[in-house]
Amino acid sequence: MDICLLLATTGPTLGVKFLVPFLLLTISFPVLIAFFAIREHGHRKEREDELEKERSAAKIAQLTTALVASQAEAERIGRNLHDSVVHHLSVIRGQLALLAEYPDAFEPSMAKEMEDQVRKVLTDVRNQSHSYTGHTLENFGLLEAIKKETEDMRQSFGKDIVLTIGDFHDHYLSRSQAEHLYYMFMEGAHNALKHSGAAQITVCLDTNGNEIQLAITDNGCGFTFGEPSGVGLKNILYRSIVSEGSYHVHTKPGQGTILHIKLPKYAKTRHTGRTTGRSGANLPGAE
Amino acid sequence: MPSFFPFYYLTIEAGCLLASIVFLRRESISAWGLQRWYLSLMVLTELAGTWWISTQGSKNQWIYNLYLPCIPVFLGLLLYRIINTLVPTHRNWLYGSWLCCGTAFVVETWLKDGIAVYHYQTRLLVNSLISLACLYYFVMQFRVPGYRNLKRDPGFCWVLGAACFYFGHIILVQASAIIAEADETIFGLTLHTALYSIILTSLYGLWTFAFYLQRPAPH
């Protein structure tokens, strides 16, 4: 219906009632668009705030994990130093005390024995320093580091440690994953050597599809496994979380222990079926 | 009452000019800084138009015709800059709109034998181009990702003011015949005057707020 005809038939009062609101509504069209734009951006802010909260929570969790792992590492260092270095130094101190009291009792063989003790202390401290600072890992790669550590443990503890390497190359893991796996291996192997009383320990490193698997098996006394309460197992737990892997402990009292650690293969090497031809001397770039 | 309104228009325009001088004093020759020159020109035009009609008694439309080309130049520059900060825009769009407005102005001057009669078609083209650019800006606010605090964004407030006025002005001009037919008053004002006052107040109110938001941050 023609608006002018409507106004003519309905009178001026009705024309104002329809016309003014219609014109105001039409004129306020930009205001309506602006209102919806402001509302849309308000929703975006809420979403961004939520994402930021999630990122912060994840960051805090990661920092907490790293802190706990560091504390566990420090405790292990202290324990190992106490077990090895302090023992040898105590023997040397005893011998020197004896010499101080009975200087006539000195024999060349005693000097040789003390020199051997000092050499052992130096070797222990140097080896532990290299392992704690990741010196071997940094310079020779994960595979060589594990081989060297295994040999050192054989000599230090005098136990039969069998190392089996399957399909594994250093570039299968990123630098940080390799570091975590190295320290988890150290923790698991030291636990087996010190607490299991096992005569033989087997370490197996292999690849299964897109997973790297490390298994440490001993035929020792076993234990009742619950929530990880020991420092070593907590360290393994947190490192496995940080490196997006997992670990399992299969054990029963009197039936030995299997520590099974799995890590995802480094993304760039998945499904390629190819190696990059790198030597074990250099680890792949950091993730 | 009718004589009040030129005074009202001049007052709010002068208020907006004062706000631009105070808040944009450090903008120098940027697109924002040029707003001070544009508003000065507009106030001068209003003063000249009012003076001419009251002293000479003849039509003053030629004064507004002379001022008409300034609208797409100054407003187009700032609109382009605001849109460009949101989404990269080629300068050819700005130059093209200037070319269109300039051509329309020349053609209408030629068709109407000079500038004595107000160039309504050119004005309609200018209003339409500005309204379309404002609409494009609003659409991009939905499409470009990321959060922006639009309530405190000087560009958004400036574009909203321009959109309210220029879009509203198109509606008022196109509906002027219907409004005249209605011959109604609101609070003693003619319908056209009342609605024009609303869109003019929203324009200068939002522009003043935009200049306030654009002011230099205190050190």
- What is residue A275's predicted lDDT score, i.e. its pLDDT? 39
Under an 8 A CB cutoff, do B138 and A27 touch?
A: no
- What is residue A203's predicted lDDT score, i.e. its pLDDT? 94
Of B138, B171, B182, Cβ closest to residue A15: B182
In order of A33, B82, B127, B131, B144, the CA distances from B137 in angstroms are 11, 8, 15, 10, 10
Q: Indicate if the pLDDT at residue A175 is higher than 60.
A: yes
Burial of B57 (0-12, 13-18, 19+ CB in 10 A): exposed
Q: How confident is the model at residue A130 (pLDDT cuts 50, 70, 90)?
A: low
B69/B74 Cα distance (integer angstroms): 9
Q: CB pairs below 8 Å between A and B: how many?
A: 80
- What is residue B25's predicted lDDT score, i.e. its pLDDT? 85
Intra-chain end-to-end CA distance of chain B, in Å: 47
CA atoms within 13 A on the CB side of B112: 18
Residues of A in contact with B160 (CB under 8 A): 30-31, 34
The series of mean pLDDT values per 10 residues for chain B, 219 residues long, is: 67 93 83 91 92 86 92 94 92 92 93 87 94 94 90 94 93 82 75 87 95 84
Instruction: Say if CB A12 and CB B180 are below 8 A apart.
Output: no
Taking the Cβ of residue B183 and every Cβ of chain A, the question of whether any pair is shorter than 8 Å is answered with yes
Stretch A148-170: mean pLDDT, rounded?
87
Pairing of strands B185-186, B189-190: antiparallel
Q: Which of B139, B141, B176 to mutate to test the interface with A (most CBs of A within 10 A)?
A: B141
Taking the Cβ of residue A25 and every Cβ of chain B, the question of whether any pair is shorter than 8 Å is answered with no
Q: How confident is the model at residue A123 (pLDDT cuts 50, 70, 90)?
A: confident
Under an 8 A CB cutoff, do B199 and A31 touch?
A: no
At B168, give phi and psi (nearest 5°).
Answer: -65, -35
Stretch A148-172: mean pLDDT, rounded?
87
Nearest residue of A to residue B195, measured between CA atoms: A24
- What is residue A134's predicted lDDT score, i.e. its pLDDT? 66
Instruction: Say if CB B44 and CB B21 are below 8 A apart.
Output: no
CA atoms within 13 A on the CB side of B109: 13
Sheet containing A211-218: order of strands? A160-165, A200-208, A211-218, A257-264, A246-251
Under an 8 A CB cutoff, do B195 and A45 touch?
A: no
Residues of B in contact with A15 (CB under 8 A): 182, 184
Residues of A in contact with B198 (CB under 8 A): 24, 27
For Cα atoms A226, A228, A232, give the angle at the middle one, nearest 5 degrees. Answer: 140
- What is residue B130's predicted lDDT score, i.e. its pLDDT? 95
Of B160, B171, B181, Cβ closest to residue A27: B171
Chain segment A103-113, per-residue pLDDT in tens: 887 788 888 88
Under an 8 A CB cutoff, do B184 and A15 touch?
A: yes
**Left if phi > 0, otherwise alpha if psi is -120 to 50, otherwise beta: which for B117?**
beta
Cβ neighbour number for residue B142 with a 10 Å cutoff = 11
Residues of B in contact with A48 (CB under 8 A): 147
Nearest residue of A to residue B199, measured between CA atoms: A27
Nearest residue of A to residue B206, measured between CA atoms: A31
In order of A23, B59, B74, the CA distances from B176 in angstroms are 11, 20, 27
B123/B68 Cα distance (integer angstroms): 7
B60/A91 Cα distance (integer angstroms): 114
Distance from CA of A267 to the nearest CA of B (A): 29
Distance from CA of B199 to the nearest CA of A (A): 8
- What is residue B145's predicted lDDT score, i.e. its pLDDT? 87
Taking the Cβ of residue A109 and every Cβ of chain B, the question of whether any pair is shorter than 8 Å is answered with no
Which two structure tokens, joined as six digits, stand for B73?
A: 């130049």
Of B160, B182, B195, Cβ closest to residue A30: B160
A263/A281 Cα distance (integer angstroms): 21
